[in-house]
Amino acid sequence: MICPSCRKENNEENLFCANCGNKLKGDTETQTSIITVTSEIVNSQNQIFTKIKQAFNKKYIWGAIIAISLIVIGIFSFKQYNTTLQEN
């Protein structure tokens, strides 16, 4: 069991912290709720990060598609322009 005061590890059967003397028993529910809330926060942050990453990936893919399209259109236009110049 970890002491809520000094954060030192203690035996589960200890009533008081061996390091600082703080009461340990009775805080089990508090520690459990802290762990639960912490894991919920971590899960929430992971979900937010995943959504941001997916949005970034979509923007990156669309940007690449547009860039490739512009390059293809530019090459086609350049060839058409050269063909027109050679005919005249």
Backbone angles phi, psi at 86, to 5 degrees: -70, -30
Q: 29 is written with which tokens?
A: 């529910």
**How much is the pLDDT for 3?**
84
Secondary structure element (H or E) that encloses residue 77, with its range: helix 28-87
Q: For residue 75, name the pLDDT band (cuts at 50, 70, 90).
A: very high
* Residues 45 and 53 sit within 8 Å (Cβ to Cβ): no
**How much is the pLDDT for 11?**
86
- pLDDT tens-digit map of 77-87: 999 998 888 88
- pLDDT tens-digit map of 41-61: 888 888 989 998 888 888 899
Rounded to a whole number of angstroms, the distance between the first and last alpha carbons of the chain is: 89
